[in-house]
Amino acid sequence: MIGTYECKVDAKGRLPLPAGLKKQLAEVLEEGFVLKRSVFRNCLELHPMNEWNNVMADVNKLNRFVKKNNDFIRQFTAGVKVVEIDSNGRLQIARDLVVFAGIKKDVVLSSSVNVVEIWDKESYEKVVDVTEVDFAQLAEEVMGGTKSDENGVS
């Protein structure tokens, strides 16, 4: 998925998906989605069901008889909701997830490879407001190494 989109959520937590994003998701709309809290930031993640199944396949490899694994699984899946796009092209965001992400009215949908992040606009603007030097250093640290694995990430 590609793109960043701005839209508004209504008082009932309904979020209309922008046409450009809906078009990119057309092949997976019927399968549904999983909406969850982000691990690293106060935003939400919208996973197409097939992508969520891939994530859960990895999670299911964890030994549940190891306490930290069990604790991780509980935290990782806290607040997870299965959602569908309604006939009006809207996504219903549950109240607990609206509160978690601090969503007021203006929202930014930001594609992040195979997941769409859903942000309160003000929070998103603060997160992406970094200096060029900071991002240049981060880009070099993350992407500037040798291609040491099959994904090309070092």
**Tens digit of each residue's pLDDT (9 = 90 or more) over 125-151:** 988 876 655 777 777 888 887 565 555
CA gap 118, 109 in Å, rounded: 5
Q: 7 near 109, Cβ under 8 Å? A: yes
pLDDT digits (tens, 9 = 90+) for 34-54: 999 999 899 999 999 999 999
pLDDT of residue 105: 94
**What beta strand segments (E) does 3-144 contain?**
4-8, 14-16, 33-37, 44-48, 81-83, 90-92, 106-112, 115-120
Which domains, ranges and CATH numbers included, belong to the chain?
4-121 (3.40.1550.20)
For the chain, give the mean pLDDT. 88
* Confidence check: pLDDT of 19 > 70: yes
Question: At 152, is the pLDDT very low, low, confident or very high (cuts 50, 70, 90)?
Answer: low
pLDDT average, residue stretch 100-128? 93
Task: Express as a percent the part of the chain with pLDDT over 70.
Answer: 91
Q: What does the alpha-carbon distance between residue 146 and residue 111 come to, in Å, rounded to a whole number? A: 26
Model confidence band, residue 154 (pLDDT cutoffs 50, 70, 90): very low
pLDDT score recorded for residue 30: 87
Q: What is the pLDDT of residues 53-63, one digit of tens each?
A: 999 999 999 99
The residues, any chain, with a CB within 8 Å of residue 32's CB and separated by 6 or more, are 49, 82, 83, 84
Give the mean pLDDT of 72-97. Answer: 93
Q: What is the pLDDT of residue 128?
A: 84
